[in-house]
Amino acid sequence: MIGSDGEQIGVLPLAQAVAKAEDEGLDLVMMSPNAEPPVCKIMDYGKFKYEQSKKANLAKKRQHVMQVKEVKVRASTDQHDLDVKLNNARKFLQAGNKVKLTMRFRGREMVYASRGAEQLKKIAEQLQELGKVEHMPNMEGRQMIMVIGPLKK
Give residue limits of the domains in the chain: 14-61, 68-150
For the CA atoms of 108, 114, 118, 120, the dihedral, rounded to the nearest 10 degrees, stands at 60
The percent of the chain in helix, strand and coil, each rounded to the nearest 5, is 40, 30, 30
CA 74 to mean position of chain CA atoms: 31
Report the CATH fold assignment for 14-61.
Answer: Ubiquitin-like (UB roll) (3.10.20)
- Measured between alpha carbons, how far apart are the two ends of the chain, in Å? 45
CB atoms within 10 A of CB 73: 20
CB atoms within 10 A of CB 75: 20
Write down the pLDDT at residue 153: 65
Architecture of domain 68-150: 2-Layer Sandwich (3.30)
Which helix (H) or strand (E) element contains residue 139? strand 131-140
**CA 93, 130, 86, 124 torsion: positive or negative?**
negative
> What are the backbone angles phi and psi of residue 3, rounded to the nearest 5°?
-75, 175
Q: What is the pLDDT along the chain (153 residues), one digit of tens a residue?
A: 898 888 898 888 889 999 999 998 999 999 888 888 889 999 999 999 999 999 999 988 887 777 899 999 988 888 899 999 999 999 999 988 999 999 999 888 888 888 888 888 888 999 889 989 998 888 888 899 999 999 876
> What are the backbone angles phi and psi of residue 25, rounded to the nearest 5°?
75, 25
Contacts of 66 (CB under 8 A, 6+ apart): 96, 97, 98
Span 46-64, pLDDT tens digits: 999 999 999 999 988 887 7
